[in-house]
């Protein structure tokens, strides 16, 4: 890629393909894979990422909200798409765009049956979400009879999938709890299979589940963060390639004298003669104030430069004392020498929050495989 001349998030489709193949190799051959492309494919570019994954042979997609599923259909994605967190106001557009949906409560179940019946739909594919301990969305075991009863009274829906979500698949200290979740999922799935005369697709594992609980792959796994190049395991991360690199440039360089201050609230005070650079990226782009005041830094021509003072809305300042660089030079915020996981840690957060938080103002540039 040529050097950038503005703030960009570079999306490396070769890295995506590499991660896809790696994760695929971790699950048995007959197990399907669902690519989780919610939140603009974890802050990257959902359409491009989904097309690439589709070309690589992924079986399914998942998004959080209906609008994200519609955007994928409008981008030309033909594969099945599961909307993980639909609201009843969106049921008609879900049906119109042939999106599958998660049914997680009695209210949503009954409302969806009503909508589907009103449109004269038969056997609309739904996925039942089971709560096995995350206590976020989903049915518990004692609600299953109610679901079976509702199913026996309608032809409008068909259970295409049964799924649940693990609360701590990345954490070995919670192994007992996770095994308990897997057990509960098995038990509830068995009750469904006894009540139905067909077998839905069972899916439980997220990325860390794929890595740590391969015995719980069931019929399909759902991977998000791993596709983008991260897990919650430093060693496994070495096998993956980060998809996103956030780059910017130096807008202006300032020689600073001892005692001068930098930025809003005069938060940084120069202890001696120094040199600062101003970068065209700020908290409105997703580099939050928590990274300022020397908690995190960036890379300029291969050298580390701390962020000094408060991060502004559209800019931030770095200390480039002793670094050979010029106005217009490229700066790497994360990716390359500094993985997003490492940058995120300095802001006391996790890669998920950092990468999904890069705002839509930042231009996305696609690097083909």
Ligand X SMILES: *Cc1c(COP(=O)(O)O)cnc(C)c1O
CA R_g for the chain: 24
Burial (CB count within 10 angstroms: exposed 0-12, middle 13-18, buried 19+), residue 61: buried
Q: What residue spans of 266-307 are helical by DSSP H?
A: none
* 225 in contact with ligand X (CB under 6 A): yes
Residue 136, annotated ligand binder? yes
Q: Which is nearer to ligand X, 135 or 324 (CB)?
A: 135
- Edge-to-edge strands, sheet with 297-300: 252-256, 274-279, 316-319, 303-308, 297-300, 330-334, 244-249, 8-12, 363-367
Q: How many residues does the chain have?
A: 369
DSSP 263: S
CB of 341 to ligand X, least distance (A): 13
CB of 47 to ligand X, least distance (A): 18
User: Can you read off the two tokens belonging to residue 26?
Assistant: 């971790």
Residue 173, annotated ligand binder? no
Within 247-306, the residues that bind ligand X by CB under 6 A are: none
The stretch near ligand X (CB under 6 A) out of 25-33, 45-53, 140-148, 216-224 is: 216-224
Q: Which of 26, 38, 160, 247 is catalytic?
A: 38
Q: Residues 178, 223, 248, 341: which binds ligand X (CB under 6 A)?
A: 223
DSSP percent split of the chain into helix, strand, coil, nearest 5: 35, 25, 40
DSSP 34: E
Nearest-angstrom CA–CA distance, 23 and 99: 25
Q: Residues 15, 36, 151, 162: which binds ligand X (CB under 6 A)?
A: 36
Q: Are 95 and 121 in contact (CB under 8 A)?
A: yes
* 206 in contact with ligand X (CB under 6 A): yes
CB of 204 to ligand X, least distance (A): 9
Q: Residues 226, 244, 282, 339: which binds ligand X (CB under 6 A)?
A: 226
The stretch near ligand X (CB under 6 A) out of 4-12, 17-25, 205-213, 273-281 is: 205-213
- Give the count of residues interacting with ligand X (CB under 6 A): 12
Q: Are 217 and 28 in contact (CB under 8 A)?
A: yes
Q: Which is nearer to ligand X, 207 or 310 (CB)?
A: 207
Q: Residues 127, 222, 247, 283: which binds ligand X (CB under 6 A)?
A: 222
Q: Which is nearer to ligand X, 154 or 169 (CB)?
A: 169
Nearest-angstrom CA–CA distance, 191 and 143: 12
Residue 50 phi, psi (nearest 5): -65, -40
Within 143-172, the residues that bind ligand X by CB under 6 A are: 165
Within 56-115, the residues that bind ligand X by CB under 6 A are: 84
The question of whether 122 is a catalytic residue gets the answer no
Sign for the CA dihedral angle at 357, 362, 368, 369 comes to: negative
The question of whether 110 is a catalytic residue gets the answer no
The helix-helix angle for 46-56 and 13-25 (nearest 10°) equals 50
**Which residue has the closest beta carbon to ligand X?**
224
User: Can you read off the two tokens belonging to residue 236?
Assistant: 């496994």
CB of 42 to ligand X, least distance (A): 7
Q: Which of 65, 110, 241, 264 is catalytic?
A: 264
**Residues belonging to the active site:** 38, 264
Sites of contact with ligand X (CB under 6 A): 36, 38, 84, 165, 206-208, 222-226
Residue ranges of the annotated binding site for substrate are 136, 313
């Amino acid at each position: 890629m040529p050097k950038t001349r503005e703030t960009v998030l570079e999306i490396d489709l070769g890295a995506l393909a590499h991660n896809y193949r790696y994760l695929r190799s971790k699950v048995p051959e007959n197990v399907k894979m669902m690519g989780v492309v919610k939140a603009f494919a974890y802050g990257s570019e959902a359409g491009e990422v989904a097309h690439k994954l589709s070309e690589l042979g992924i079986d399914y997609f998942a998004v959080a909200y209906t609008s994200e599923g519609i955007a994928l259909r409008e981008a030309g994605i033909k594969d099945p798409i599961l909307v993980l967190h639909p609201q009843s106001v969106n049921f008609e557009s879900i049906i119109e765009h042939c999106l599958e949906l998660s049914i997680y409560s009695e209210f949503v179940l009954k409302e969806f049956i009503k909508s589907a019946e009103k449109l004269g739909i038969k056997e609309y594919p739904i996925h039942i979400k089971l709560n096995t301990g995350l206590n976020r969305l989903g049915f518990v075991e004692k609600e299953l009879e109610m679901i079976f009863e509702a199913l026996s009274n309608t032809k409008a829906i068909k259970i295409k999938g049964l799924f649940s979500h693990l609360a701590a698949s990345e954490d070995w200290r919670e192994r007992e709890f996770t095994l308990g979740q897997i057990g509960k999922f098995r038990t509830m799935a068995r009750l469904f299979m006894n009540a139905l005369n067909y077998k839905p697709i069972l899916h439980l594992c997220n990325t860390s589940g794929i890595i740590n609980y391969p015995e719980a792959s069931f019929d399909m796994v759902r991977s998000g963060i791993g596709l983008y190049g991260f897990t919650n395991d430093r060693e496994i991360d070495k096998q993956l390639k980060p998809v996103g690199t956030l780059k910017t440039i130096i807008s202006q360089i300032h020689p600073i004298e001892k005692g001068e201050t930098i930025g809003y609230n005069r938060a940084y005070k120069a202890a001696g003669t120094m040199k600062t650079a101003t970068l065209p990226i700020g908290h409105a782009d997703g580099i939050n104030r928590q990274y300022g005041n020397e908690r995190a830094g960036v890379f300029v021509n291969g050298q580390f430069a701390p962020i000094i003072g408060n991060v502004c809305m559209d800019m931030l300042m770095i200390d480039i004392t002793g670094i050979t660089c010029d106005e217009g030079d490229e700066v790497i915020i994360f990716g390359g020498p500094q993985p997003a996981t490492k940058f995120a840690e300095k802001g006391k957060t996790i890669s998920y929050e950092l990468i999904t938080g890069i705002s839509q103002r930042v231009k996305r540039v696609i690097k083909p495989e």
